[in-house]
C-alpha cells in the first residue's frame, strides 16, 4: 500500500532546527525514498537544502513563524501560521499524509488538537511511546498528553495503543496492561480500579491485568495504558534511572585500573546500548487519535532520527492508523449501545 | 541521646523469615549494640536463636499469628495477634521504641495505622524511601501508602520528609521538590497545581519548585513530595529500569570476547553497584506520621539488611522523629489560624 502524498516535516522545531531537520529530510528522500515537504522559512530552508545540493529534491512550504521549544500549549492559539500549524493544515487539506515535528511536545499536542481535531469517537488524543523491549516494543499510552483523565479514556488509550501495535509490530491480539501499584484488581486509585473493571469487559481488548512500574521494560505486555501524568512521570523516571546507572557504571569502571582495558573495548558498545535505552530518542512518540498521523521526534533529534521518524510516520499513515483507530472506537460504541 | 527501650522486630514478616530476621537481630545486638526484641512464635524463635548461641541476648515476645506476604490491608483487621500487630502494640504501650518489619508493605501500613494511629495533626501517614543520591539521599514521600490524596496532604508529606532529612542527614533546610510533568508552575494535574500554590506559601518549607521523573536520582532536592500512586509507580519504574540496564549491560559485555577479561575484573564492583542502586533494598522505607517509628525493610531482606533497618529505626527514634513531625505540623496549623 502506498501513498504518494508527502510527509509534512516541521523544519523549524527542535534543538537542531533547521539544519539537522533539513539533513534528515534529505536522508529520508534519498535513502528511504519517502516523499517529504519541509515547512518553514523558505529562504533559510533553500540555503540549507543547497548545502546538500537538494533544492530540487525537497519542496518547501512557507511558514514564517515557529513555536519556540519553551512555548507551551497557548502559543498554538497565538500562532496560526507557525510551521507546525501549517504542517497540520497540509494534512487536514489532504496535501500531506502525516506530520513530523521535533518541536515542543506541548506545542505539537495543542496545535494538533486545534488544527487536525480528534477523530470521531475519540475522547482524547494521546501520546504513544515505544519502549525498547524485545522482541517488539511495549507501547506506553498516554505518555503525557492528558494530565487529567477519566476511566473511559484509559480504555480508549488501550485501543489507540492496540491499533498501533497491530499495525507497526504485526501483533494480532496485543496484550494490554493497566499501570498501577499492585497486581491485584483492587490495587490503585479510583481511576484505575474503575478502568480495570471496564477493561475486563471491553470488546476488542485483550486485557491481561495490572502491571507495575518494574514491568514496563520486561515485555510482559504490548500496550501499557495509563493517564498522561503517571505515564510521563514513569517515562522520565526510566530515562533518569538509565542515565544514572550508566553514570555510576562509568565511575565504577574508572575506579579500577585493571578494568580499563576492558572498559575501552566496551565503550562503543556501551554508547550504542545507552542510545538504545534512551526511550524517547529511540522510538520517538506518536500522537494518536487525531484526523491524521503526527509523529513527535525527540527535541534533540539529529538527521538520522528525523529520517527514522519520517519512516514511522509513513508506515503508520500507509497502514491506515487513523481508520484502524476509527474502526476500534466505533466497535466500542456499537457494543455499548447493545447494553 | 539514648533510649534504653528495645526495637520491636517482627520476626515472622519477610521472604526469609524467621531465620534471616533472627540473624539480623543477633547482628544488631552484637555488632551495633542495639536493644532488640523479637516478636513471633517463641518456639521457632528460641530454636533459631539457639543456632546463634543467642537465646540469652535477644528476648522474645509471643505472637502466634503472622501476616502472609500476600495478605493486604484487610488482614490487619482480622489478625489482632499477628507479629506486626504485637510489635506495634509494644510501641504503643511504651515498651519498645520502634518497629521494624520486612512483611508486606500493605499489611504494615494498615496495621500501623490501626494500632499506632496517625499522630495529632497528621492527615495521612506516608512512606519515605531514601533514593541513592550523593552526598545525601533524596527522600521520596509518599512512596505508596496513599493512592488517593488531597493537595494539603502533599504539603504534609513535604513536612514528613523534611523532618526525616533534618534528623537523618543533618540538612538544616531541606530542599523540597514537587513531582510533576514539567518545570513550570502551571504544569501537571489539578492536584499538583494546587499543591504547588500551597507549597509556595507554606512556612517551614523550602520549596524549590517542580521536579520531573529524571530529577529523582540527580540529588537536585532533598525531599520529593508526591501522591503514593505516582510515587510507587516511579519507584518501581526506577528499579525496573536499573535492572534492565544491567541486564542489557551483561549481554553487551558477554558479546565481546576481548572485553571478558575486563568484565571479570568488574563483576564484583558491578554487583555492589547494582545492590546500591536497588532503591528499596538500599534505604528501606519508613512509615512516617504515626505515634511511633515504623521501618519497612524490603521483603527480600537478609540479616545485614535487617540489622541496618534496626539502626535506621533506632536513629529516628532517638532523634525524636515523632516530636519533630509534631512540631512541624503544629506550626502549620498555627500559621493557618493566623489567616
- CATH code for position A270: 3.40.718.10
- Contacts of B39 by beta carbon, 8 Å cutoff, 6+ apart: B8, B9, B10, B11, B12, B60, B61, B63, B83, B84, B86, B87, B90
Question: Same domain, yes or no, for A226 and A279?
Answer: yes
Q: How far is B299 from chain A (nearest CA, A)?
A: 15
Q: Find cell 527501650 and name the residue.
A: B5
Q: What pLDDT is stored for residue B249 in this prediction?
A: 72
**Structural domain contains residue B336:** no
In whole angstroms, give the CA distance from residue B95 to residue B69. 26
In chain A, what residues touch B213 (CB-CB under 8 Å)? 232-240
A125 backbone φψ class: left, alpha, beta (φ>0; ψ -120 to 50): beta
Residues B72, A184: C-beta atoms closer than 8 Å = yes
Boundary-marking domain end, from B283, B310, B332: B283
Closest chain B residue by Cα to residue A71? B184
CB contact under 8 A, A240 and B232: no
CB contact under 8 A, A147 and B181: yes
- In this structure, are A145 and A267 located in the same domain? yes
Same domain, A61 and A11: yes
Predicted confidence at residue B254, as pLDDT, reads: 61
Per-residue pLDDT of chain A (339 residues; tens, 9 = 90+): 457 899 999 999 999 999 999 999 999 999 999 999 999 999 999 999 999 999 999 999 999 888 877 776 676 677 889 999 999 999 999 999 999 999 999 899 999 999 999 999 999 999 999 998 889 999 999 999 999 999 999 999 999 999 999 999 999 999 999 999 987 777 899 999 999 999 999 999 999 999 999 999 999 999 999 999 999 999 999 989 888 887 777 676 665 544 554 555 456 666 666 666 664 445 579 999 999 999 999 888 999 999 999 999 999 999 999 999 999 998 776 555 444
Are A233 and B180 within 8 A, CB to CB? yes
Containing H/E element for B101?
A: strand B98-101
CB contact under 8 A, B256 and A273: no
* A109 min Cα distance to partner chain B (Å): 14
Residue A330, in any domain of the structure:
no
**Are A138 and A253 within one domain?**
yes
- Are B235 and A217 a contacting pair at CB < 8 A? no
Cβ <8 Å between B236 and A213: yes
Closest chain A residue to B211, measured at CA = A233
Q: Do A235 and B213 touch (CB under 8 A)?
A: yes
Nearest to B241 among A230, A232, A238 (CB): A238
Contacts of B261 in chain A (CB under 8 A): 261-262
Residues B107 and B131 in one domain: no
Q: Which residues of B touch A182 (CB under 8 A)?
A: 106
Distance (Å) from the C-alpha of residue B101 to the closest C-alpha of chain A? 20
A337 domain residue, yes or no: no
Query: In chain B, whose CA is at the least distance from the CA of A269?
Result: B252
Q: Specify if A111 maps to a domain.
A: yes
The reply to whether B332 falls in a domain is no
Q: How many CA atoms lie within 13 A of B27 on its CB side?
A: 16
pLDDT at B206: 97
Residue B338 lies in a domain: no
Report CB contact under 8 Å: B233, A181: yes
Residue B329 Cα to chain centre, angstroms: 20
Could you tell me which residues are beta bridge partners of residue B126? B288
Q: Min CA distance, B12 vs chain A (Å)?
A: 22
Residues A145 and A189 both lie in one domain: yes
The domain boundary residue, chosen from A238, A258, A284: A284
DSSP B30: H
Same domain, B189 and B230: yes
Residues A178 and A89 in one domain: no
Mutate to test the interface with B, among A109, A184, A245, A277 (most CBs of B within 10 A): A245
Q: Do B236 and A148 touch (CB under 8 A)?
A: no
Q: Are residues B10 and B36 in the same domain?
A: yes
Residue B338 burial (10 A CB sphere; 0-12, 13-18, 19+): exposed
Residue B4: inside a domain: yes
Task: Give the Å distances, CA to CA, from B68 to A10, A314, B23, B98.
Answer: 57, 53, 20, 21
CA distance B59 to B36: 7
pLDDT of residue A120: 94
Residues A256 and A210 both lie in one domain: yes
Using the beta-carbon criterion (under 8 Å), do B213 and A188 form an inter-chain contact? no
Domain count, chain A: 2
pLDDT at A279: 45
Q: Provide the domain limits for residue B112.
A: 1-122+289-319
| Chain B contact probe: residue of A105, A178, A216, A240 with most B CBs at under 10 A | A240
Query: Which residues of chain B carry a pLDDT beneath 50?
Result: 1, 257-258, 261, 265, 279-281, 337-339
pLDDT of B247: 77
* Whether residues A260 and A179 fall in one domain: yes
- Tell me which chain A residues have a C-beta less than 8 angstroms from the C-beta of B248: 273, 276-277
Residues B306 and B256 in one domain: no
**Beta carbons of A277 and B248 less than 8 Å apart:** yes
The C-alpha of B120 sits at a distance from chain A's nearest C-alpha, in angstroms, of 26
Does a structural domain hold residue A271?
yes
Amino acid at each position: 500500500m502506498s501513498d504518494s502524498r508527502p510527509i509534512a516535516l516541521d523544519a523549524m522545531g527542535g534543538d537542531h532546527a533547521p539544519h539537522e531537520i533539513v539533513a534528515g529530510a534529505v536522508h529520508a528522500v534519498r535513502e528511504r525514498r519517502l516523499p517529504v515537504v519541509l515547512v518553514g522559512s523558505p529562504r533559510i530552508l533553500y540555503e540549507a537544502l543547497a548545502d546538500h545540493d537538494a533544492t530540487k529534491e525537497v519542496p518547501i512550504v512557507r511558514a514564517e513563524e515557529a513555536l519556540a521549544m519553551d512555548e507551551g500549549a497557548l502559543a498554538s492559539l497565538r500562532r496560526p501560521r507557525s510551521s507546525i500549524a501549517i504542517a497540520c493544515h497540509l494534512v487536514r487539506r489532504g496535501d500531506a499524509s502525516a506530520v513530523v515535528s521535533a518541536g515542543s511536545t506541548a506545542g505539537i499536542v495543542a496545535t494538533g488538537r486545534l488544527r487536525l481535531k480528534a477523530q470521531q469517537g475519540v475522547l482524547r488524543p494521546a501520546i504513544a511511546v515505544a519502549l525498547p523491549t524485545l522482541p517488539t516494543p511495549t507501547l506506553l499510552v498516554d505518555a503525557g498528553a492528558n494530565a487529567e483523565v477519566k476511566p473511559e479514556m484509559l480504555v480508549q488509550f488501550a485501543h489507540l495503543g492496540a491499533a498501533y501495535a497491530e499495525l507497526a509490530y504485526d501483533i494480532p491480539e496485543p496484550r494490554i496492561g493497566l499501570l498501577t501499584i499492585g497486581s491485584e484488581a483492587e490495587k490503585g486509585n479510583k481511576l484505575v480500579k474503575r478502568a480495570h473493571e471496564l477493561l475486563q469487559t471491553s470488546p476488542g481488548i485483550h486485557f491481561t491485568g495490572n502491571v507495575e512500574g518494574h514491568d514496563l521494560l520486561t515485555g510482559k505486555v504490548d500496550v501499557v495504558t495509563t493517564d498522561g501524568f503517571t505515564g510521563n512521570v514513569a517515562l522520565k523516571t526510566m530515562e533518569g534511572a538509565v542515565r544514572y546507572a550508566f553514570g555510576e557504571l562509568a565511575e565504577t569502571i574508572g575506579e579500577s585500573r585493571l578494568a580499563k582495558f576492558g572498559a575501552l573495548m566496551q565503550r562503543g558498545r556501551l554508547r550504542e546500548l545507552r542510545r538504545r535505552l534512551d526511550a524517547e530518542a529511540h522510538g520517538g512518540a506518536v500522537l494518536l487519535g487525531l484526523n491524521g498521523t503526527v509523529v513527535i521526534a525527540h527535541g534533540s533529534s539529529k538527521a538520522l532520527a528525523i529520517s527514522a521518524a519520517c519512516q514511522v510516520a509513513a508506515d503508520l499513515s500507509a497502514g491506515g492508523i487513523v481508520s484502524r483507530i476509527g474502526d476500534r472506537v466505533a466497535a466500542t460504541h456499537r457494543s455499548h449501545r447493545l447494553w
